[in-house]
Structure 1
Amino acid sequence: MDLVQINDFLATIDGYIGGSSWFVFALLGTGVFFTLYLGFPQIRYFGHAIAVVRGKFDKKGAKGDTSHFQSLATALSGTVGTGNIAGVAFAIHLGGPAALFWMLVTAALGMTTKFVEVTLSHKYREFAEDGTVSGGPMYYMKNKLGMKWMATLFAVAAIISSFGTGNMPQVNSIAASLKATFGIEEMVTGAVLSVLLGLIILGGIKRIAAVTEKLVPMMALIYVVGALSVIVMNYENIIPSFISIFSDVFTGSSAAGGFLGATIAYAFNRGVNRGLFSNEAGQGSAPIAHAAAKAEHPVSEGMVAILEPFIDTIVICSITGLTLLSSGVWNEKHQNDFSFADLEIMEGGLSEDADGGRLFNHFNNQGWVNSESLVPFQGELAVKEGKIKSEATVLHARSIAEDVVVS
């Protein structure tokens, strides 16, 4: 199976799950239900959650391996990263400024979802003979619901998901950045990161927590300071950026620069989708980290989890979004290297001016078959000295790729 086939397979799965309409309504619907049923705990308990993290209610002798702050940092280490940078950029590029609004909505409702899933995980966790702790959704599926088959299915799905939403996007972004900036080969970066990660993981949850409690705050602080510097340099665009985020929710985003527009529904889908990628509320991964926390009452650790989507998405992702929108880079075209699996090749010479409507329909999943539909290129491309000589148009990242050089 080559990269193109793998890419097509993953795109098919995304079409049935992440890219489908039922997924976003199921995710947000769960958040709405718990928010209303529990009386808006993300608002009522926010101040108390901060006090719990600071150790105000800690008691000696509480069972567990990590402190509340260490559990929070460990969970954030899996969310603060690629999702906050590349995830936000991709969401805005796909759905326009309105996608950031739906990311924030997902986070606000996700605060309650995390409160529930972490509380349950902590309540039904298990202790080994050596005192180590294990927990997560699979444990309350087994211990409370008595559905061992569901617990097994979730555990397998979580392992598979950890590749797609965890290490692969993170490592790929780091390797690509170091390659573009310093010329370091991707294999070298991957090897070094594998060794460092292995040294940390072999130390168990205690070593992971010890590293993340120091690394995550510093990492977040450096990023926030850098992003705010860019926003301040483009201060005249801050208010227009805010306006575009909220106004485009009801109108969709019109074409601008290299961005060819997005419908309300598409911005909604991509915003919610990338919101989950950013904060993982409802994914079931964070409860595994929180299960190791020292807490006398499970609900106290659930309150700590309320802070994660707030820090990860409402704060950091908002700063990323404002950086992209205020600087204007979100709809500009840049020199880029991409593989064949990232491309769509269409018949004929298309232009953004003359074929803007057809491209808009195609990119927003409205390309039903009619006389205006784009036609995929068939056959072999004629390439001479790196230049495509066939009558074809290359599409990449929802825009027309220009001055393409084949290597």
Structure 2
Amino acid sequence: MEQKDIIEEKHEGSTVVEIISWFETWVANVSNFLWTYVLAILLIGAGIFLTIRLRFFQFRFFGHALSQTIGQIFKKDKHEGTITPFQAFTSALASTAGATNIVGVPVAIALGGPGALFWMWMVALIGMATKYSEIMLGVKYREKNKNGTWVGGPQYYIKKALGWDKVAAAFAFFLMIEAIPSLMVQSNSITTQVEGAFGWSTQITGLIMCGLVAIVVFGGIKRIGKVTDKMVPFMVITYLIGAFIVIFAHIGELPNVFGMIFTHAFTPISAAGGFAGAGIAQALRWGIARGLYSNEAGLGTAPITHAAAQTNHPSRQALWGIFSVFVDTIVICTVSGLAVLVTGTWMEVSADNASNMIGTAFGTVMGETFGGSFIAIFLFFFVITTVGVLIFFGEKQAEYLFGLKGSKFMRIIYIAAIYVGAIGGLQFVWQFLDLLLAFVLLCNIIPLVFLHKEIRAMTDDYINRIYRKKEGKPSIQLFSDQSDKDISQ
């Protein structure tokens, strides 16, 4: 080959690399802009709007929500539906509880300081109204497919309630595609953890994951529900016990830690140790972003599983949305945050290695080796249930767009994506995750706001016909706007 040809070939190769690099940077910049400004404002604004329209329902009826959710888990429900209300809850929780709560919280603290935890709580409190609303609509507009299984989600209520067929199809398409990079990232996060803790190759872990997930997802939502209602509570409780052991071992630090959380939510914090320091904007940005990402309120995924639940009223099932945000963010995220704060690992571990903070924190009590292994094992099982539910989400979108055959085809694609992600392949695709999530969220949150009258009318109906009747209280008009039509009649 002549020197000229070699130079031209190198030039062409470098040009391709530059184009790819430029495109990756562009995708990252667009994603950051959307999540930092547009989506944060939309989600928080929608949450506040729905909270006010529902007269702070999630706070006033929080005790009732607990009694009708966790207080009813052993009760047999004979109402229409495919799975029990608790199975629907654990299936939805499986898609959010895990890596985001365990690894994502330390990342938020590393980049936004202790004050980020405060803003995470604020997002959760208003997110309860959002999640309640979308689950309620998902159950109200559900329908049976050709297999006799109840299906529902944003694509159904967007089409049926608003007649926005193209927006409904866009939601289904973006979520169907988004599941691919999401599965890749989830599987890669655990294979690298397992490799670091036990020395297993990513290929072996990837194959094990594919096999376990296939066994679960080929059984449909009934098998997914049976797996999650046993695994998720056990994993959550065991992780919380481990985290509380760490926190109580450093209980003398708690007053100072809570002081930092509340103080630095509104004032900057200077650099210390491996922590680079953070301003108010960073605490706000990372607290909001991780809070929204951890509980998925407004994303529209929870209604997909809850639509299959056995229930006698949409609002009754939607109470699980309030409880799930509480468990996911107020409980799990809080103990994760407190564990890294009381142990001081947030100042010892650099932001680049923030995902290792929780393992390091556990290591201060359990020993470095056991602490890392403990987190790796639990992340593995969390991810198994998470990817199983993510595949179900994607399948339901394919079913909506292309029928049952399309659903089965995408199931194969998703299982293959788990292995490709496990070995670190096609990382370019991962760059699209946040961007696709942004499109999914936009397709759901805007219709949700437009349907606020239905949401509050159905809530009014539930309070009068079920809640107040059960309590032996006379019916009331919860909302003052007499022009709203009672859509439940």
Contact kept, 8 Å, 2:77 with 2:84, in 1: the verdict is no
Distance in 2 (CA, whole Å) between partners of 1:82 and 1:206 is 24
Distance in 2 (CA, whole Å) between partners of 1:163 and 1:98 is 33
Give the equivalent residue in structure 2 for 1:374: none
1:155 aligns with 2:160: no
Residue 265 (structure 1) shift: 1.3
Residue 64 (structure 1) shift: 0.8
Contact kept, 8 Å, 2:275 with 2:351, in 1: the verdict is no
| Equivalent residue in structure 1 for 2:49, among 33, 37, 53 | 33
Distance in 2 (CA, whole Å) between partners of 1:224 and 1:57 is 22
Corresponding letter in the other structure for 1:246: F
Residue 58 (structure 1) shift: 6.9
Give the equivalent residue in structure 1 for 2:25: 8
Residue 282 (structure 1) shift: 0.7
| Equivalent residue in structure 2 for 1:264, among 255, 276, 280 | 280
Distance in 2 (CA, whole Å) between partners of 1:155 and 1:285 is 11
Corresponding letter in the other structure for 2:174: A
Give the equivalent residue in structure 2 for 1:179: 195
Matches within 5 A, 1:116-135: 116-135=133-152
| Equivalent residue in structure 1 for 2:209, among 163, 186, 193 | 193
Distance in 2 (CA, whole Å) between partners of 1:185 and 1:147 is 47
Corresponding letter in the other structure for 2:44: L
Deviating runs (4+, > 6 A) in structure 1? 56-59, 334-338
Structure 1's 288 and 308: CA in aligned 2 closer, same or farther, altered over 3 A? Answer: same
Residue 237 (structure 1) shift: 1.3
Residue 10 (structure 1) shift: 4.2
Contact kept, 8 Å, 1:52 with 1:58, in 2: the verdict is no
Contact kept, 8 Å, 1:45 with 1:303, in 2: the verdict is no
Matches within 5 A, 1:209-248: 209-248=225-264
1:64 aligns with 2:81: yes
More strand by share: 1
Distance in 2 (CA, whole Å) between partners of 1:88 and 1:259 is 15
| Equivalent residue in structure 1 for 2:116, among 83, 99, 102 | 99
Corresponding letter in the other structure for 2:278: A
Structure 2 SS opposite 1:138: helix
Distance in 1 (CA, whole Å) between partners of 2:177 and 2:274 is 34
Contact kept, 8 Å, 2:73 with 2:86, in 1: the verdict is no
Distance in 2 (CA, whole Å) between partners of 1:215 and 1:57 is 16
Distance in 1 (CA, whole Å) between partners of 2:286 and 2:222 is 36
Distance in 2 (CA, whole Å) between partners of 1:56 and 1:246 is 35
Contact kept, 8 Å, 2:93 with 2:324, in 1: the verdict is yes
Query: What RMSD in Å do the two structures reach over aligned CA positions?
Result: 2.3
Contact kept, 8 Å, 2:143 with 2:152, in 1: the verdict is yes
Residue 170 (structure 1) shift: 2.8
Residue 89 (structure 1) shift: 1.0
Structure 2 SS opposite 1:144: helix
More helix by share: 2
TM-score for both structures, normalised by structure 2? 0.65
Distance in 2 (CA, whole Å) between partners of 1:307 and 1:190 is 33
Distance in 1 (CA, whole Å) between partners of 2:40 and 2:105 is 17
Structure 2 SS opposite 1:190: helix
Structure 1 SS opposite 2:223: helix
Contact kept, 8 Å, 2:47 with 2:129, in 1: the verdict is yes
Q: Percent identity?
A: 41
Distance in 1 (CA, whole Å) between partners of 2:97 and 2:271 is 30
| Equivalent residue in structure 2 for 1:75, among 92, 95, 114 | 92
Q: Which runs of 5+ in 2 are unaligned?
A: 1-15, 355-489
Distance in 1 (CA, whole Å) between partners of 2:22 and 2:201 is 25
Distance in 2 (CA, whole Å) between partners of 1:326 and 1:121 is 40
Distance in 2 (CA, whole Å) between partners of 1:242 and 1:163 is 39
Contact kept, 8 Å, 1:95 with 1:271, in 2: the verdict is yes
Structure 2 SS opposite 1:296: coil
Give the equivalent residue in structure 2 for 1:146: 163
Residue 16 (structure 1) shift: 2.7
How many residues matched?
A: 336
Distance in 2 (CA, whole Å) between partners of 1:151 and 1:320 is 36
Distance in 1 (CA, whole Å) between partners of 2:160 and 2:43 is 24
Contact kept, 8 Å, 1:118 with 1:302, in 2: the verdict is yes
Give the equivalent residue in structure 2 for 1:202: 218
Residue 308 (structure 1) shift: 0.7
Distance in 1 (CA, whole Å) between partners of 2:74 and 2:110 is 44
Give the equivalent residue in structure 2 for 1:111: 128
Contact kept, 8 Å, 1:59 with 1:296, in 2: the verdict is no
Give the equivalent residue in structure 2 for 1:329: 345
Structure 1 SS opposite 2:72: coil
Distance in 1 (CA, whole Å) between partners of 2:117 and 2:165 is 38
Contact kept, 8 Å, 1:95 with 1:253, in 2: the verdict is no
Give the equivalent residue in structure 2 for 1:43: 59
Q: Which runs of 5+ in 1 are unaligned?
A: 339-407
Give the equivalent residue in structure 2 for 1:375: none
Residue 286 (structure 1) shift: 0.8
Distance in 1 (CA, whole Å) between partners of 2:351 and 2:148 is 54
Distance in 1 (CA, whole Å) between partners of 2:318 and 2:32 is 32
